[in-house]
Chains A and B, each alone.
Chain A
Amino acid sequence: MTTLTWRYRGGVAARTLAAIGGGYVLTSIASALIAIALPLPRADAVSIATLLSFVVYTGIILWVFATSSALRAWIGVVASSAVLGAVLWLTGRMA
Chain B
Amino acid sequence: MKEGLRQSMAWVHTWSGLLVCWLLLLVFMGGTAAYYKHEITFWMKPELHKAADAPSRVSPAESATLAVRELQQRAPKANAWFLDLPHERNPLIYASWTNPPKKGMTREERRAAFRTQNFTLDPMTGEKTAAPRDTRGGEFLYRLHFDLYYMSAIWGRWIVGIASMFMLVAIVSGVITHKRIFKDFFTFRPKKGQRSWLDAHNATAVLALPFHLMITYTGIVTLMFMYMPAPTKALYGSEQNTMFSEVFPNAERVKPAREFAPLADVAPMLLQAERAWGAAPSRVVVTNPNDANARIELHRPAGQQLSNIEPTMTFDGATGAQLSGPKPMSTSLDARAAIYGLHVAHFADPLLRALFFVCGLAGTAMVATGALLWGVKERQKYAKAIANGGKVGFGVRLVDALNIGAIAGLPIAFAAYFWANRLLPVEMAGRSNAEANWFFIAWGLAALLAQIRPTRAMWRIQLTVGAAMLAGIPALNAFTTDTHLGVTLFGGPGLRPVAAFDLVVLALGLLLGWAAWWLGRKARKQAAAKQPTSTHTTPLEAT
To the question of whether A and B form a pair in one complex, the answer is yes
Once A32-B230, A32-B231 are accepted as A-B contacts, the answer to whether A46 and B243 lie under 8 Å apart by CB is: yes
**A89: min CB distance to chain B, Å:** 11
A54 near B235 with CB under 8 A, answer no
Q: Which residues of B contact A27 (CB under 8 A)?
A: 228, 230
B12 near A65 with CB under 8 A, answer yes
A11 near B1 with CB under 8 A, answer yes
**A57: min CB distance to chain B, Å:** 7
Once A36-B235, A46-B243, A62-B172 are accepted as A-B contacts, the answer to whether A51 and B230 lie under 8 Å apart by CB is: no
State A44–B337 Cα separation when bound (angstroms).
12
A54 near B165 with CB under 8 A, answer yes
Instruction: Return the contact of B233 from the options A2, A32, A68 (Cβ within 8 A).
Output: A32
B332 near A40 with CB under 8 A, answer yes
Q: Is B232 an interface residue (CB 8 A)?
A: yes
Q: Which residues of A contact B233 (CB under 8 A)?
A: 32
Q: Which residues of B contact A36 (CB under 8 A)?
A: 234-235
Residue of A nearest to B233 (CB): A32
Instruction: Return the contact of B333 from the options A1, A11, A44 (Cβ within 8 A).
Output: A44
A48 near B332 with CB under 8 A, answer yes
State A46–B246 Cα separation when bound (angstroms).
10
Query: Is chain B's interface secondary structure helix, strand, loop, or mixed overall?
Result: helix
A54 near B172 with CB under 8 A, answer no
B232 near A46 with CB under 8 A, answer yes
B8 near A66 with CB under 8 A, answer yes
**A72: min CB distance to chain B, Å:** 12
Of A12, A35, A40, A47, which is in contact with the most chain B CB atoms at under 10 Å from its CB?
Answer: A47
State A11–B3 Cα separation when bound (angstroms).
14
Residue of A nearest to B4 (CB): A66
Q: Which residues of B contact A41 (CB under 8 A)?
A: 330
Q: Is B339 an interface residue (CB 8 A)?
A: yes
Query: What 1/0 flags go to B192-217 for Cβ under 8 Å of A?
Result: 00000000000000000000000001
Q: 6 closest Cβ contacts across the A-B interface?
A: A28-B230, A35-B231, A32-B234, A43-B246, A49-B231, A44-B332
Binding site for B on A (CB under 8 A): 1-2, 11-12, 15, 27-29, 31-36, 40-51, 53-54, 57-58, 61-62, 65-66, 68-69, 88
26 A-B pairs in the complex with CB atoms less than 8 angstroms apart: A1-B381, A1-B382, A12-B1, A31-B228, A31-B231, A32-B233, A34-B231, A35-B231, A41-B330, A43-B243, A43-B333, A44-B330, A46-B236, A48-B332, A48-B335, A50-B224, A50-B225, A50-B231, A51-B224, A51-B335, A53-B230, A62-B173, A65-B173, A68-B2, A69-B2, A88-B234
